[in-house]
């Protein structure tokens, strides 16, 4: 079960021997993972490897069968679908669940932070895909989370909008400094955004890869291409070199940058 941590622990997320089964099949199999406060982690893996199952467990949406999850009390999640209430204007969607007389002021400030102060009274049906996802981000940030969970939030966006969203999420991460766990299928996205890329295979961690490239990141950077090739190889995608076999490895106890 998820246990809120108060005060903030040495790690924003601690997973110990986490197991989740469906129809007798272990989707998460004794998984260990730490995420440091303020660390940006991207989670990669083939379909069915357990990425979204882990994220949903961390968000408190699903229980686990065995092991322990420790997360901050203040967390928020953004999914591939913005999940806006169509009968509420943009600012009211952002203010959902925010209590107190300052709810509207906080919602307007969050919308301004994502560049949508001019759309605060817009109905969700009138928003573009990128605008709707920015409203979803504002709704997450207004809660001032210590842990932000992102489940492929940019997958449905066009290429140019995705680039803008990448820039925005880095800006917001730097401003608010939450720990971030981004579930993605996009190797380039993981390398552009994360401090560390974690590869999931057969329900366990197969690889921890620190990303020490300078920011802002450039795809053309020689180091970027080397890391990209390594990740694609780990994921079984054909490159110039034979793909490396994915074998889950125990969690390293060394500090991450």
Q: What is the pLDDT of residues 105-150, one digit of tens each?
A: 999 999 999 999 999 999 999 999 999 999 999 999 998 999 999 9
pLDDT band (50, 70, 90) for residue 91: very high
Return the minimum-mean-pLDDT range out of 22-26, 85-89, 98-102, 205-209: 98-102
Are 212 and 40 a contacting pair, CB within 8 Å? Answer: no
173 secondary structure, DSSP code: H
How many separate helices (H) and strands (E) can be counted in the chain?
7, 10
Using omega within 30 degrees of 0 as the cis cutoff, is the peptide bond preceding 216 cis? yes
In this prediction, residues 198-214 reach a mean pLDDT of 92
Q: Where are the domains of the chain?
A: 38-62+145-257, 84-144
**CATH fold of the domain at 38-62+145-257:** Rossmann fold (3.40.50)
CA–CA distances in Å: residue 38 to residues 10, 33, 145, 185, 253: 11, 15, 11, 22, 18
| Confidence at residue 8, expressed as pLDDT on a 0 to 100 scale | 44
Q: What is the pLDDT of residue 130?
A: 94
- Residue 2's pLDDT band (cuts 50, 70, 90): low
The percent of the chain in helix, strand and coil, each rounded to the nearest 5, is: 30, 25, 45
Q: Residue 46: what pLDDT?
A: 86
Using DSSP bridges, classify how beta strands 13-22 and 66-72 pair: parallel, antiparallel or unpaired.
Answer: antiparallel
Chain centroid to Cα 118, Å, comes to 27
């Amino acid at each position: 079960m998820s246990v809120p941590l108060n005060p903030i622990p040495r790690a924003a997320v601690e997973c110990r021997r986490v197991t989740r089964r469906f129809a007798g099949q272990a989707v998460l199999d004794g998984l260990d993972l730490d995420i440091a406060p303020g660390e940006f982690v991207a989670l990669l893996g083939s379909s069915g490897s357990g990425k979204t199952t882990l994220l949903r467990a961390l968000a408190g949406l699903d229980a686990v069968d065995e092991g322990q999850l420790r997360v901050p009390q203040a967390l928020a999640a953004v999914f591939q679908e913005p999940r806006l209430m169509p009968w509420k204007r943009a600012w009211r969607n952002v203010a959902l669940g925010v209590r107190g007389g300052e709810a509207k002021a906080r919602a307007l400030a969050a919308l301004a932070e994502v560049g949508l102060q001019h759309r605060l009274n817009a109905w969700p049906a009138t928003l573009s895909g990128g605008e709707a996802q920015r409203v979803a981000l504002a709704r997450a940030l207004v809660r001032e989370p210590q842990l932000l969970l992102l489940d492929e939030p940019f997958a449905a966006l066009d290429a140019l909008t995705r680039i803008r969203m990448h820039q925005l999420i880095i800006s917001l991460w730097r401003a608010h400094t939450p720990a971030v766990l981004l579930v993605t299928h996009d190797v380039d996205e993981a390398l552009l955004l994360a401090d560390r890329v974690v590869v999931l295979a057969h329900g366990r961690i197969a690889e921890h890869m620190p990303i020490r490239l300078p920011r802002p990141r450039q795809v053309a950077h020689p180091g970027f291409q080397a890391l990209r090739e390594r990740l694609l190889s780990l994921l079984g995608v054909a490159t110039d070199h034979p793909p490396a076999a994915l074998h889950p490895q125990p969690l390293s106890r060394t500090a991450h940058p």
